[in-house]
Amino acid sequence: MRVQHWDVDQDGPLTEAALRQKLERQGYAVSRYVYSPGTHFPDHTHGFDKIDAVFSGQFRMTMEGEEVTLKAGDCLAVPRGSVHSAEVVGDEAVVSFDATKE
Protein backbone atom coordinates (compact mmCIF):
# COMPACT_ATOMS: atom_id res chain seq x y z
CA MET A 1 0.00 0.00 0.00
CA ARG A 2 1.25 3.42 -0.89
CA VAL A 3 -0.18 6.37 1.04
CA GLN A 4 -0.13 9.73 -0.70
CA HIS A 5 0.48 12.50 1.84
CA TRP A 6 -0.73 16.09 1.46
CA ASP A 7 2.14 18.32 0.27
CA VAL A 8 1.62 21.91 1.46
CA ASP A 9 4.29 23.19 -0.96
CA GLN A 10 2.57 21.59 -3.96
CA ASP A 11 -1.09 21.48 -2.84
CA GLY A 12 -1.34 24.56 -0.60
CA PRO A 13 -3.04 24.63 2.80
CA LEU A 14 -5.15 21.56 3.61
CA THR A 15 -8.83 22.47 3.52
CA GLU A 16 -11.88 20.35 2.76
CA ALA A 17 -12.39 22.25 -0.50
CA ALA A 18 -8.76 21.79 -1.57
CA LEU A 19 -8.80 18.06 -0.82
CA ARG A 20 -12.07 17.60 -2.73
CA GLN A 21 -10.73 19.58 -5.71
CA LYS A 22 -7.52 17.53 -5.81
CA LEU A 23 -9.56 14.30 -6.04
CA GLU A 24 -11.99 15.73 -8.59
CA ARG A 25 -9.09 16.89 -10.82
CA GLN A 26 -8.06 13.22 -10.99
CA GLY A 27 -11.48 12.34 -12.41
CA TYR A 28 -13.14 11.02 -9.24
CA ALA A 29 -16.68 11.60 -7.98
CA VAL A 30 -16.32 12.68 -4.34
CA SER A 31 -18.62 12.11 -1.35
CA ARG A 32 -17.98 13.43 2.18
CA TYR A 33 -18.59 11.23 5.24
CA VAL A 34 -18.16 11.65 8.99
CA TYR A 35 -17.48 8.44 10.92
CA SER A 36 -17.84 8.47 14.71
CA PRO A 37 -15.38 6.80 17.09
CA GLY A 38 -15.90 3.04 17.16
CA THR A 39 -16.97 2.85 13.50
CA HIS A 40 -15.66 -0.32 11.84
CA PHE A 41 -16.12 -1.63 8.32
CA PRO A 42 -15.31 -5.37 8.06
CA ASP A 43 -13.59 -6.94 5.05
CA HIS A 44 -15.36 -6.02 1.81
CA THR A 45 -14.73 -5.17 -1.85
CA HIS A 46 -16.04 -2.65 -4.38
CA GLY A 47 -16.72 -3.04 -8.09
CA PHE A 48 -14.99 0.29 -8.81
CA ASP A 49 -11.69 2.02 -8.13
CA LYS A 50 -11.70 4.39 -5.17
CA ILE A 51 -9.53 6.57 -3.01
CA ASP A 52 -10.07 6.95 0.72
CA ALA A 53 -8.95 10.45 1.72
CA VAL A 54 -8.88 11.68 5.32
CA PHE A 55 -9.42 15.34 6.17
CA SER A 56 -9.34 14.91 9.96
CA GLY A 57 -9.08 12.12 12.50
CA GLN A 58 -7.35 8.77 12.05
CA PHE A 59 -8.62 5.91 9.90
CA ARG A 60 -6.90 2.49 10.04
CA MET A 61 -7.10 0.70 6.68
CA THR A 62 -6.22 -2.93 6.11
CA MET A 63 -5.89 -4.16 2.54
CA GLU A 64 -4.59 -7.46 1.24
CA GLY A 65 -3.00 -8.18 4.65
CA GLU A 66 -1.23 -4.80 5.04
CA GLU A 67 -2.26 -2.13 7.54
CA VAL A 68 -1.81 1.65 7.57
CA THR A 69 -3.29 4.50 9.61
CA LEU A 70 -4.40 7.45 7.49
CA LYS A 71 -4.22 10.92 9.06
CA ALA A 72 -5.19 14.41 7.90
CA GLY A 73 -4.34 14.86 4.23
CA ASP A 74 -3.57 11.19 3.56
CA CYS A 75 -5.03 9.35 0.57
CA LEU A 76 -5.03 5.63 -0.18
CA ALA A 77 -5.96 4.11 -3.53
CA VAL A 78 -8.19 1.04 -3.20
CA PRO A 79 -8.30 -0.79 -6.54
CA ARG A 80 -11.56 -2.42 -7.62
CA GLY A 81 -11.93 -5.90 -6.13
CA SER A 82 -9.36 -5.37 -3.35
CA VAL A 83 -10.38 -6.90 -0.04
CA HIS A 84 -10.11 -4.18 2.61
CA SER A 85 -11.45 -3.07 5.98
CA ALA A 86 -11.38 0.21 7.88
CA GLU A 87 -11.89 1.54 11.39
CA VAL A 88 -11.80 4.85 13.21
CA VAL A 89 -8.80 5.07 15.56
CA GLY A 90 -9.11 6.97 18.83
CA ASP A 91 -11.81 9.26 20.23
CA GLU A 92 -12.01 11.76 17.34
CA ALA A 93 -14.49 11.40 14.49
CA VAL A 94 -13.04 10.93 11.01
CA VAL A 95 -13.99 13.32 8.23
CA SER A 96 -13.35 11.34 5.07
CA PHE A 97 -13.83 11.70 1.34
CA ASP A 98 -14.70 8.64 -0.73
CA ALA A 99 -13.52 9.29 -4.25
CA THR A 100 -14.87 6.80 -6.78
CA LYS A 101 -14.25 6.14 -10.45
CA GLU A 102 -16.18 3.61 -12.50
Q: Indicate the burial class of 90 (C-beta count within 10 angstroms; 0-12, 13-18, 19 or more).
A: exposed
Give the chain as a DSSP string. --EEPP-HHHH-S--HHHHHHHHHHTT-EEEEEEE-TT-EEEEE--SSEEEEEEEES-EEEEETTEEEEE-TT-EEEE-TT--EEEEE-SSS-EEEEEEEE-
Q: Is the pLDDT of residue 102 over 80?
A: no
> What pLDDT is stored for residue 73 in this prediction?
97
Cα 8 to its chain centre, rounded Å, is 18
Q: How many helices (H) and strands (E) does the chain have?
A: 2, 9
Report pLDDT for 99: 97
Instruction: Please state the length of the chain.
Output: 102
| Stretch 77-81: mean pLDDT | 95
CATH number for position 21: 2.60.120.10
Q: Residue 32's pLDDT is what?
A: 98
Full domain range(s) for residue 17: 3-101
Which tens digit of pLDDT belongs to each residue from 24-78? 999 999 999 999 999 999 999 999 999 999 999 999 999 988 999 999 999 999 9
Counted domains in the chain: 1
pLDDT band at 23 (very low <50, low <70, confident <90, very high): very high
Q: What pLDDT is stored for residue 61 in this prediction?
A: 97
pLDDT for position 48: 94
